[in-house]
Amino acid sequence: MSDVTLTIDGVSATVPRGTTIMQAADTVGIRIPRLCYHPRLSIEGACRVCVVEVEGARNLVASCHYPAEDGMVVRTHTPEILQLRRDIVELLLDNHPEDCNTCERDGNCELQRLAYATGIRERLFAGERKHYEKDNLGPAIIRDPDKCILCGRCVRVCGEIQEVGCLGQVNRGFKTVVMPAHDAPMVETVCTGCGQCVNVCPTAAFLEKDATADLMKAIEDPEMIVVSQMAPSVRAAIGEAFGEAPGKAYEGEIYAAMRRIGVDYVFDTQFSADLTIMEEGAEFVKKLAEGGPLPNITSCCPTWVKYCETFHPNLLHLLSTAKSPMSMQGAMVKTYWAEKMGIDPSRIFSLAVMCCTCKKFEATRPELFVNGLPAVDRVLTTREFAWLLRNYGIDFTHLQPEEADNPLGESTGAGVIFGATGGVTEAALRTAYYLLFQKDLPADALNFEQVRGLKGVREATLDFEGTAVRLAVVHGLSNANEVLDRLIAGGEYHWIEVMGCPGGCVGGGGQPYAGANAVPLDECLLAQRASALYNLDAAREIRCSHHNPSIQRLYQEYLGDPLGHKAHELLHTYYYPRVPMGVRPQEAQV
């Protein structure tokens, strides 16, 4: 493809033909203000914030979709443009609640930043303002149309990256609202709860359902014993919420912080990630030996599970029956650990801090309850947890690292990498190899580079002592569909890992908002978070789940064998088709 050279604000830029003016400007250090634009989504051109002047053009053009041409002369900040941009943002503010002080996104809001950047220092007019009911009926996601500025990013992320298509823009003009089909509550729709709408929303039109108040109550209740766990990815991103650069893991600091806020026992989801590998690895090896049903499709991701139940009910028999690490952990806390400690499980408040909004939904699934009690009482996202620490006045980044409590806090490198796309596969391979051949992979062969990285679909065929193992690893639900289409068309796989969010759990819907200079879902950011986890894994002495001493003890003392009776009862689950409003028709045929 040939290049074109254009002049932007007097600076010359040479870019490949087909590049937009906005992208060209980005390459020469000119950041044209933008709102509805997102680099990973289709171009909407709705907000008009990015208008620029092109010499010879009749009108100002939206730089997000206008292609750069040879010899083009572009101006991005003439007095006319600056005034117009301010007017556009003012019009958005006219129909937006002026409640920044009490808004969840205060300080993290793109509209707020834009209003500041465009120089709006006073509000001139009070216009007519829309008002709609908030939808907070579901366990995971809250939709607040009053905050919506109709940029359409949520609609696009839901349709394009996730291929869920839960959201649409309904009605026209002033009456336009982003809503699910028939204005149904999110909980009754095809929504998978992934929370990417929360991630990409520039304002607070989508939020997770706040669970901090319930936790604070439990902490203050002398009768309740608060037991925590946290997902691997939380440690890879929480620093960002405190202004630290991405890519640094905070593990011991989170354990310390949990004790400071009053958690009684600090455990780690990574323990149960190892436990998941014991069960799912054994299940996979059994399926390989018995010839099926294959492929084994992972089931740790609640978003993926709900998606599969909704859109691919005919594939449910392929999902691993192993519960997710979070639910296994909760089950072990309220049985094994409670018995060991002589604590009545009903006095235990089981807290999970997760990178995920959908885990809030998972915690409410009745089939995951243990002896009538929820395995996990409340789920906090990384964001909520970071807020709680601020509220409690904890200087997070200066805490002295501490250790997790045992036995449910000990983990291996295999458990750590669950948070990155491909991590579950890598962890499972390490243990599956051991189960198949009764020996460990050599220490220098523990990394499976084929399944790492951020390519949407990664396929590999491994040579396991002469046996070919065909793998697919995907993240983002549209990529899942790509592999599932191949599977349905007769493609042969032994193992498919699906993580609902881009990047896997490190890109979860509950992670800290992208900072002022970052873009949500940015691949660099996701890669940095993933590398924080891979570094932790590399530094661990024990890197295979089956060598976790606490896991070994758990099986000896309590569970028996992987896939045994007790394990089956406490660590495995089942799935069922869902037919909410707005399901697509093409059920997968296998």
Partner 1 sequence: MRYQRKTLESPEWWQSLDAYIAEQKERNRDHVQSALIPVLHHVQDTFGYIPVKAINHVAQQLGVPTAFVCGVASFYSYFSLTPKGIYTISVCLGTACYVRGSQAVLDEFCRQINCRPGESTPDGLFTVHEARCLGACGQAPVVMVNDVVYARVTPEQVPDIIAQLTAEAQAESA
Residues within the interface to partner 1 (CB under 8 A)? 155, 159, 164-172, 179-182, 190, 581-586
Q: Which is nearer to partner 1, 422 or 580 (CB)?
A: 580
Residues classed as catalytic: 280, 283, 300, 320, 359, 362, 367, 505
Q: How many CB atoms lie within 10 A of CB 227?
A: 27
Q: Which is nearer to partner 1, 14 or 169 (CB)?
A: 169
Contacts of 414 (CB under 8 A, 6+ apart): 273, 274, 277, 426, 427, 430, 431, 537, 543, 544, 545
Q: How far apart are CA 462 and CA 584, in angstroms?
A: 35
Q: In the bound complex, what is the minimum distance in angstroms from residue 365's beta carbon to partner 1? A: 24
Q: How far apart are CA 414 and CA 446, in angstroms?
A: 10
Q: In the bound complex, what is the minimum distance in angstroms from residue 436's beta carbon to partner 1? A: 41
Q: In the bound complex, what is the minimum distance in angstroms from residue 204's beta carbon to partner 1? A: 21
Q: Which is nearer to partner 1, 153 or 546 (CB)?
A: 153
Q: Is the CB of residue 62 less than 8 Å from the CB of residue 50?
A: yes
Q: Which is nearer to partner 1, 67 or 168 (CB)?
A: 168
Q: In the bound complex, what is the minimum distance in angstroms from residue 41's beta carbon to partner 1? A: 15
Q: Which two tokens stand for residue 83?
A: 């005034």
Q: Is the peptide bond before 295 cis (omega within 30 degrees of 0)?
A: yes
Q: In the bound complex, what is the minimum distance in angstroms from residue 172's beta carbon to partner 1? A: 5
Q: Which is nearer to partner 1, 91 or 181 (CB)?
A: 181
Q: How far apart are CA 43 and CA 46, in angstroms?
A: 9
Separation of CA 407 from chain center:
28
Q: How far apart are CA 373 and CA 361, in angstroms?
A: 15
**Phi/psi at 226 (nearest 5 deg)?**
-90, 120
Q: Which is nearer to partner 1, 317 or 584 (CB)?
A: 584
**Phi/psi at 244 (nearest 5 deg)?**
-85, 155
Q: In the bound complex, what is the minimum distance in angstroms from residue 37's beta carbon to partner 1? A: 21
Look up tokens 């949990």; give the residue.
Answer: 258
Q: How far apart are CA 160 and CA 478, in angstroms?
A: 7
Q: Which is nearer to partner 1, 133 or 367 (CB)?
A: 133
Q: In the bound complex, what is the minimum distance in angstroms from residue 31's beta carbon to partner 1? A: 32
Q: In the bound complex, what is the minimum distance in angstroms from residue 484's beta carbon to partner 1? A: 15
Q: Which is nearer to partner 1, 138 or 330 (CB)?
A: 138
Q: How far apart are CA 239 and CA 236, in angstroms?
A: 7
For 205: left if phi > 0, alpha if psi spans -120 to 50, otherwise beta; the answer is: alpha
Q: Is the peptide bond before 139 cis (omega within 30 degrees of 0)?
A: no
Q: Is the peptide bond before 580 cis (omega within 30 degrees of 0)?
A: no
Q: Which two tokens stand for residue 393?
A: 């006045």
Q: In the bound complex, what is the minimum distance in angstroms from residue 181's beta carbon to partner 1? A: 4
Q: Which is nearer to partner 1, 165 or 413 (CB)?
A: 165
Q: How far apart are CA 20 and CA 42, in angstroms?
A: 13
Work out whether strand 495-499 and strand 296-297 pair parallel, antiparallel, or are unpaired: parallel
Q: Dihedral, CA atoms, 541, 543, 547, 548, nearest 10 degrees?
A: 80
Q: How far apart are CA 93 and CA 102, in angstroms?
A: 16
Distances (CA, A) of 575 to 279, 293, 310, 362: 17, 16, 11, 12
Q: Is the CB of residue 309 less than 8 Å from the CB of residue 358?
A: no
**Phi/psi at 37 (nearest 5 deg)?**
-70, 135
Q: Which is nearer to partner 1, 167 or 388 (CB)?
A: 167
Q: In the bound complex, what is the minimum distance in angstroms from residue 159's beta carbon to partner 1? A: 7
**Of residues 11, 402, 379, 335, the one with CA closest to residue 209:** 379
Contacts of 57 (CB under 8 A, 6+ apart): none
Dihedral sign from CA coordinates of 515, 520, 524, 529: positive
**Of residues 199, 207, 301, the one with CA closest to residue 526:** 199
